[in-house]
Structure 1
Amino acid sequence: MPSLVASHIEAGSKITMSLIAKCRMLSLIAIASLSAGFLAFISGAHSADQGISGLQTNQSYVDKLKGKSGVDLANPLSVFRSILTSLPKTVKVYPTENYYYFSFYDRGIRYGGNIRLAIDGLAKREIYFTYFPSATLQHPDGERHRLVLNASNGVDVKRITDLSWNVSAFGKTVRFNLNDLSKVRPPRGLMRKQETFIGAVFDESGLIFFLLFDKAKANFLYILDETVDVPEQFSGSEADASFQL
């Protein structure tokens, strides 16, 4: 009888030890799974964090102010050469009017300007270059420098497609890709019966508008395109919260 009890006890001990071993194994598997999930979560969170877009610092701003361009700012062709040779091989001209805007600093003064690829100019294989210092209290209207660029001053303007043009000069070629808005259309239900869609307008601010003509009132309307991401934030008017400013 004692041997029978002992055998039952021994068998029970083996079963208990087996259950404990299985529980430990399941615990290890669970811990491993949780760890893998946590690591995947951390990894996913890290990969999702792509950083701040367009970071600008006071240091870079001050460094720009202290910079000296080393270019004769009274010589438009010399300034154009500096601008063109500083551009990448391919650029995108976003505004509908085909202005490629730029700015730079010289001795603390900010200059703005543009290279315009006007349709009538492109037909003659020429582009238009303008730059000027920013307005100040002392000089509300900065002196504008303008220059027509074509083969006469060593600038070659070559058509690749209707929306893609090469500008070559000073050993550098830059391809200017114009903005194709031919497929942009107002969403259904936006226009009233008396309105006609003229075309899409891409503003230099990054906003897209639908240009409409109201035949009943004989005037034009610019309607914001809200079918795409709008790089702007608006707040409701105090008089009417539905009116966004």
Structure 2
Amino acid sequence: MYLHDAIVHNQDDPNEIVPLLNKYFNPSSVIDLGCGIGNFLSKFKELGVKKVLGIDGAWSDNEMQMLQPEDLLLKNISDELHINDKFDLAMSLEVGEHLEGKYASKIINDLTGFSDLIVFSAAIPNQGGQDHVNEQWPDYWVKIFNTFGYDCYDLLRPILWSNPNVHYWYAQNMFIAVRSSNAAIVDKLLSDFPFLRDKKNVVPSLVHPLQLQRTISETRHLHTFRKLVKGQGSIQEYKEFFKSRLTRK
């Protein structure tokens, strides 16, 4: 069961990301696989998108949930979903890493069944987080999308990378996938963003500076902890270590 909290799961990210997606793609319908508390879809509705559907487990049906019951399907993502409807835009953000690798193709199969245009992100190796069991570099997911006839483009990361109001994992991991046979979507994408023309399926493995800082910090804390356990730390190190633990979010 994934635990949501107001520090991470708020409207800061949707307020920055959703207007961009709305501007670039102007969807009239959006589905979110692994919607959590529905914060992204609620922003789409605020901007005038009438038809939304969020899918997540029963644990997402709590006091933080922002979606109306009719816009929410409570179902485990690893289960068969049996959704025959189509949407202008499908999204799945920081979800794939929570399911075992044997479900990776199933997730992408579901998304490609929902829409010809997909926004996707998933945790990279050693990113860390709750119940991460399949952290992978983007190329892992790109290759799966390719098997379903989709091409992937690194459109969003350059735009989000330095935005202080966007959590680094979105800026680090987010890309789009487009059904290659849908000429209308592909042609418009490459017309609007010419720099993508020679970048098909080029989604480099990148580590955001804030991710790097976090990893280094945690490594240092682990080293200090081992010293303290062995009784080898100074009084100042004891004080600093426990202070950092008490103030950590």
Q: Which TM class, normalised by the smaller chain length?
A: under 0.3
Q: Provide the TM-score with structure 1 as the length reference.
A: 0.21
Query: Which is richer in helix?
Result: 2
Q: Provide the TM-score with structure 2 as the length reference.
A: 0.21
Structure number with bigger Rg: 1
Query: Which is richer in strand?
Result: 1
